[in-house]
Structure 1
Amino acid sequence: MEQFLAFPIEQIPFVVISLLIAFTVHEFAHAYVAYKFGDPTAKNQGRLTLSPLAHLDPLGTLFLIIGGFGWARPVPVNRFYFKRPRLAGVLVSIAGPISNFILAFIGVAVWYICLRLGVDSVSHEFVFRFFNMFMTINLLLFLFNLLPFPPLDGYRVIEDLVPNPVRARMTQYEPWGIFLFLVIVITPLDQFVISPIYNVGIPFLANLIDMILRPIIGF
């Protein structure tokens, strides 16, 4: 069975807990920023909450565990409430990925604090494995959601940055973009998209966080 999973089977509990937190905070961040810019849509639908039940998509969660990529339930956003739709749209879109980067940063910081406090040898490996997975999941979601494919956040950012005529054309072809995205991630083409995230992007960001935190915490 393990060969069908993106993560070792003994790490699945850490994956599930990390996903519950990562997906929930990601979608809450979208809802919160949209609400602050005047859009009550997500709040009215019960999405302005940190309850995982309001945000998790069972199929998207399963896909991440099995295939290494997945999704939560998208937060509804109504741009007509925004006084400055382009600025608000960009900030709402990037709020989710940024929240995942912040979570990864916090996870590493907590792990280093545990080391400074002298985590005992019995719990050392357990705590390390959890925070390592927590960091990996959140950095994965940070980078993954910045990809310029619909319906990911990176695509939404591009939509708000391009001129209106280009945006209209993008909207027309958006349904086909989803199929293109799926082809890329479930075929050998993923070596040019998903593999670089795992092999280059996540290690680079992990090292960056390490470089920032070590002097602060005193390692």
Structure 2
Amino acid sequence: MDDWNLIQKIAIYALPVLLAITVHEAAHGYAARHFGDRTAEMLGRLTLNPLKHIDPIGTVLIPAIALVLGGFLFGWAKPVPVETRNLRQPKRDMLWVAAAGPAANLLMAIGWVLMLKLAAGFEGSSYQAPLNFMAQAGIHINVILLVLNLLPLPPLDGGRILLSLLPNRAAHTLAQVEPYAMFILIGLMVTGLLAVIMQPLLRATFGMLAWLF
């Protein structure tokens, strides 16, 4: 795929990126509604329409820059609003609401693996290469989002899950980190520590998918 031009790469990556981010956010909204919070639904965010979830920077600019520079592709959408106090059991239910996004990415990664297998059946067809590359893109994007979002740093999903599991005092202490989370992530990226942290987790997840399929 290295010899493809930018327009071709964008065409291949556009659908997997939009699906990965949109379904991730919608999953949070559907889980929140299941546990009693209808905030996302009332604000029109309980939808698979990507236009409702797109963040100009996180969904468009950052993935485009990563694609051009050749770094690992990642991004984010507008977070789906969840009013914790509306949940029937806020601390317990927030764990499942937070976990819904990464779970959606795992299911999508599995779906793209199946698409990759389907592409193998088009050998010799002009459809094989685009399907193959799109499936690979879908697998990589969803696995990266899965691993990144499960890092135990609020407001990432892994941080939300950890807050639900910790005793109240420890959870309160960890919650104080949230306003600085973006600066921490940027610092980890600039120093290369984010890649060091994520690479073993990415390899393990890719390995699990390869073993399963």
TM-score by length of 2: 0.86
Distance 1:201 1:121 in 2: 35
Asked whether 1:90 is paired with 2:89, we answer no
Matches within 5 A, 1:188-207: 188=191, 190=192, 192-195=193-196, 197=198, 199-207=199-207
Asked whether 1:168 is paired with 2:166, we answer no
Paired residue for 1:150? 154
> What secondary structure, in the 3-state scheme, does the structure 1 residue paired with 2:177 have?
helix
Question: 1:82: how far off?
Answer: 1.7
- Structure 1, residues 158-215: CA drift from partner, whole Å, max 9, x if none? 1111122222233333212332222112x12x2x323553x443343233223212xx
Distance 2:123 2:49 in 1: 30
Q: Choose the corresponding residue for 1:37, options 35, 38, 57.
A: 35
Contact 1:150 1:178 in 2 (8 A): no
Distance 1:26 1:211 in 2: 24
Which amino acid in the other structure matches residue 159 of structure 1?
Answer: L
Matches within 5 A, 1:39-118: 39-61=37-59, 62-67=61-66, 68-116=73-121, 118=122
Distance 1:203 1:101 in 2: 14
Distance 1:201 1:165 in 2: 29
- Structure 1, residues 56-76: CA drift from partner, whole Å, max 9, x if none? 111002213324332110011
- Structure 1, residues 12-71: CA drift from partner, whole Å, max 9, x if none? 222222111111100000000000011001101111100001111110022133243321
Question: 1:125: how far off?
Answer: 1.4
Q: Percent identity?
A: 33
Question: 1:149: how far off?
Answer: 2.1
Distance 2:128 2:119 in 1: 9
Distance 1:168 1:204 in 2: 31
Paired residue for 1:17? 15
Distance 1:84 1:209 in 2: 34
Asked whether 1:131 is paired with 2:129, we answer no
Aligned residues: 203
Question: 1:127: how far off?
Answer: 1.1
Structure 2: unaligned runs, 5 residues or longer: 67-72
